[in-house]
Amino acid sequence: MGLGKTLQLLTFIAWYLQKPDAKPVLIVAPVSLLENWQREMEKFFAPGFARVLTLYGEVLASKKVARPLIDQALLDQGMTRFLEAGWMDGANLVLTTYETMRDLSISLGTQTWGIMVCDEAQKIKTPGTLVTDAAKVQKALFKIACTGTPVENSLTDLWCLFDFVQPGLLGPLNVFGTKYRRPIEMRDGDQAQIEALKDLKAIVEPQILRRTKQELAIDLPRKIEFNIEQPELVRIPVSSEQRRMYNQIVQQYKQAAQTTSPSGKRLNPILGMLHRLRTVCADPRPEGAQPDLTLPLDEYRRRSPKIDWLIRLLDSLSSRASGEKVLIFTEFLEMQRTLQHYVGQRYKLRPKIINGAVKTDSRAPESRQKYIDEFQSHSGFNVLILSPIAAGFGLNIQAANHVIHFTRPWNPAKEDQATDRAYRIGQTRDVSVYCPTIVAEDFLTFEEKLDQLLSQKRGLANDMYNGTFDVAAEEFEDLLNVQ
């Protein structure tokens, strides 16, 4: 992530479009990334290097065929979405979304594309979904699957991406599963695994261009990961109230796990228990209760050790003259609002929140890019609060030099994608990464266990054929020994 895939692809496309027989190019990406493609074009290429059509938003609406004009026979078959004749209007570079490609795959499929790029191609990593099928039916002479995380969960992801770029290369999915995925994912190091991995690499590596920060001789500043380099600075002792709530949640889980459903099956409500333990670590309060933002900050800090830790860190950063800028990631909406309230109150700021509710279209009065531009141009200390899901890709926030994962996702690849909003080409300062972790001396907390699991899975992910895999609920069973 953050090593210039977009610019590299645009350079290739610009070279291709100079050919006298070049056919149009299709770029499919999440809507939040399409504007990034346009900004890269404007920044690095001469005006007019391509005739660009942005096939989403208002432009898309203007090019759809009105329902009354669609033949009844098509409507009877449930086919209701088409583009009008001549919709390309001379364009030779079309930018569109995965949703548009899915909904208008028939109209897009009538065009032969010289190049088709699927950016953040993990969107088409699941066999048999409508969006994956829509990508695979497009007529393209040359296909590119572009992603920083080609294997998020299992090698089925890799099979599906190659079934897009070169159908049949890896054989049918069931055969691939038997021949490659199962022996490789056993990870027991036996000869069958070694041979399967060797054979798979021999097939696919001629068609993979993979670059990592470690492999490139680029002058990036340091990334300081405090959970590795100075873990004592991010370890937060559990409070007595958290301990009480922990014990109550675990006991309730044990009781519920002993009950049976009407069909006679034993219930296993472990996911509910883990969600509650996760919440207690972040901001201890009774189940279902909303944050009480009427409380003074000092009182809230006494109740929440992690918020107290955050304020102490931000106090230190805000006192520096170097204009420290901080990204705080958490997917919990109520946590985002709580942090916005108290951080704003403490530092006389109004931190913006970037989550799924914020518009991706920069023409909107309030959009992700406007929030980022405002954050980056602000002189002095500043804070931006983000969802790792909504902001995990497509955002360049190199002005930030501190990244705090206030709560952590279940997959290390998603966490790394969030960190790399700041730690990417163009960053000029060292980037400090913090994962504050509630710990106890006499029992293993949810957050300490999650930190261990994420570290293990991140280590495996250094080889992309391992995948990263979400942390599974079953891996937390040793949390039941709380006293």
State residue 82's pLDDT score.
Answer: 86
Tokens 């969006």 belong to 131
SS3 199: helix
What architecture is domain 5-167? 3-Layer(aba) Sandwich (3.40)
Amino acid at 58: E
State residue 189's pLDDT score.
Answer: 63
Query: Do the beta carbons of residue 374 and residue 404 sit within 8 Å?
Result: no
State residue 424's pLDDT score.
Answer: 86
**Range(s) of the chain covered by CATH 3.40.50.10810:** 5-167
State residue 367's pLDDT score.
Answer: 85
Kindly list the averaged pLDDT for each block of 10 residues, start to end, along the chain of length 483. 85 96 96 87 92 92 84 75 89 95 93 96 92 96 90 87 95 93 76 87 91 71 91 94 90 77 62 88 88 94 96 96 95 95 94 89 80 92 93 83 94 87 89 96 90 81 63 70 55
Query: In terms of C-beta distances under 8 Å and separation of at least 24 residues, what long-range contacts does 45-48 make, across chains too?
Result: 45/10, 45/14
Query: Do the beta carbons of residue 327 and residue 421 sit within 8 Å?
Result: yes
SS3 content of the chain, % helix, strand, coil (to 5): 45, 15, 40
Can you identify the CATH homologous superfamily of domain 223-481?
P-loop containing nucleotide triphosphate hydrolases (3.40.50.300)
- Parallel, antiparallel or unpaired: strands 325-329 and 402-405: parallel
Query: Do the beta carbons of residue 238 and residue 306 sit within 8 Å?
Result: no
Q: For residue 439, give both structure tokens.
A: 């710990």
Q: For residue 483, give both structure tokens.
A: 């006293």
Query: Do the beta carbons of residue 77 and residue 70 sit within 8 Å?
Result: no
Report d(CA 262, CA 450) in Å as an integer: 33
274 burial via Cβ count (<10 Å: 0-12, 13-18, 19+): buried
Report d(CA 138, CA 111) in Å as an integer: 8
State residue 69's pLDDT score.
Answer: 79
Distances in Å between the Cα of 99 and the Cα atoms of 56, 103, 175, 366 are: 9, 6, 30, 23
**Range(s) of the chain covered by CATH 3.40.50.300:** 223-481
Q: For residue 265, give both structure tokens.
A: 């099956």
